[in-house]
Amino acid sequence: MGSYIINGGEKLKGNVTVNASKNSAVAILIASLLNDKKTVIKNLPKIEEVFRIIEVLESIGVKTKWKGRALEICPPPKIDIKKIDKEATGKTRSIILLIGVLVHKIENFDLPMLGGCKLGRRTIMPHIYALENFGIKIKSFGGRLNISREKLCPCNEIIMYESGDTATENAILAASLIPGRTVIKFASANYQVQDLCYFLKKLGVRIEGIGVTTLTIYGKKKLNKEISYYLTEDPVEAMLFLSLAAVTKSSITIKRCPIEFLELELFKLKKMGFRFKILKRYKAKNGYGQLADIKTFASNLSAPAEKLSARPFPGLNIDNLPFFVPISSQAKGETLIHDWVYENRAIYYTELNRLGAKIKLADPHRVFVEGPAKLRGAEIACPPALRPSAIILVAMLGAKGKSVLKNTYAIERGYENLVERLKALGAKIYNTNQRMVSECNE
């Protein structure tokens, strides 16, 4: 595993462009298996999570080919699930979305247990409760999941146990190839769910209610259409650069920000004293996403009067909440951050104390952050989770002196070519991992 060597405390300047969403990418990669013809996904990020999904798809017979930043996907006549790449599946939780797709191809099959970020207890019960409405049975035993079904039927009312992104996506995928009307209530309306719905609409599935919490899906017997689809940009990557600007007190321009999914974050930052300007607004290349270019300015921050917590869209994004930890470390006063979704994620936030932050853990879900703290360099290993690893990197870039961030695979799961993009902004950072990723050079 590689390491980043960072000489922090530098003011940043220049422009950076937000890449496409990791979470949209993996969902649409898997959704492409619903199509009997070729699918081309454009603006696909070349990140480790995407490579793992591609490895899984190729292991079961799917043909893929990179053409620049686009990936051609051709499904096989028959999927060979017994040849699934168990090592790759063990590194990504997103593989659970195969259930909603493969039930249309195979009556009974097994999937290896899921990988992904280690964020406490993360059950698959919301998936089971949603998919059982279609006649899908899921059992867990012996280190694997067994999925079976007889006749698949649409459902007039599915109540989501929780408004989870992947659980909602699994229900959408299952409904798309079941002729008839399915209604999903308390669905996630988050960015990746919307992106998946727009992709399926282009494929020919009729979906009503995109962007709200009740979705109506009119499934089709067959999806057989050559299409290409542009992924929308990633609000969580945009938030990384916003937090970096806030922590380093830098003026940078962040281009192609998916503004609809950042409005609340920006409003809370504004109330903390963060200065920014929206330079222009425009449509994403898929015709649906709303983008903006944002210029930031050096700002003196103050702790918010109220606690910061996340909730499903249109609330503050669950994956954006961690970035308020390094931001709050530079804000005058005490900030309470309540990360109620994951049992263990708040514990990872205290790693910033090794850089000089003043973070008190109240319980597995809440931290108090006292600021402004003078951050200093340190050596830290990335925790086994993407966003907690990313906020350590943000804090290191704001910390004076030399830092070493070890085991950076967790970051490279979700951010493409991040070191070089940070260098272009003036950061003094070096990636010690010289391993060549062949996919990036094709």
Looking at every residue in the chain, the average pLDDT score rounds to 93
pLDDT in tens, 331-355: 999 999 999 988 789 999 999 999 9
* Rounded distance between C-alpha atoms, residue 393 and residue 405, angstroms: 7
pLDDT at site 435? 42
The helix (H) or strand (E) run that includes residue 19 is none
Name the token pair of 378.
Answer: 């340190």
Backbone φ and ψ for 65, nearest 5 degrees, come out as -150, 125
User: Which domains are seen in the chain, by residue range?
Assistant: 3-19+233-441 (3.65.10.10), 22-230 (3.65.10.10)
pLDDT at site 438? 31
Strands 331-338 and 301-302: parallel
- Give me the residue label for tokens 């019960």: 125
The CB density around residue 422, as the number of other CB atoms within 10 Å, is: 23
pLDDT in tens, 258-276: 999 999 999 999 999 999 9
**Residue 358 CA: distances (Å) to CA of 43, 300, 319, 340, 387:** 39, 18, 22, 21, 19
Backbone φ and ψ for 379, nearest 5 degrees, come out as -110, 125
Q: Is 283 exposed, middle or buried (0-12, 13-18, 19+ CB in 10 A)?
A: exposed
Name the token pair of 368.
Answer: 């108090």
Beta-carbon-side half-sphere exposure of residue 187 (alpha carbons within 13 Å)? 29
Q: Quote the distance between the C-alpha of residue 149 and its chain's center.
A: 30
pLDDT at site 344? 80
pLDDT at site 114? 66
Say whether pLDDT at 28 is over 50.
yes
68: Cβ–Cβ under 8 A, 6 or more apart, which residues? none
Provide the H-helix boundaries in 76-190: 86-89, 98-102, 125-131, 165-176
CA angle 408, 434, 429 (to 5 degrees): 60
Taken in order 186, 187, 188, 189, is the CA torsion positive or negative? negative
Q: State mean pLDDT over 93-103.
A: 94
The helix (H) or strand (E) run that includes residue 162 is none
Rounded to two decimals, what is the model's pTM?
A: 0.93
The helix (H) or strand (E) run that includes residue 40 is strand 39-42
pLDDT at site 437? 33
pLDDT in tens, 191-232: 999 999 999 999 999 999 999 999 999 999 999 999 999 999
pLDDT in tens, 385-412: 999 999 999 999 999 999 999 999 999 9
pLDDT in tens, 112-144: 876 544 444 557 899 999 999 999 999 987 778
Task: Transcribe 372-394 into DSSP letters.
Answer: ----B--EEEPPSSHHHHHHHHH
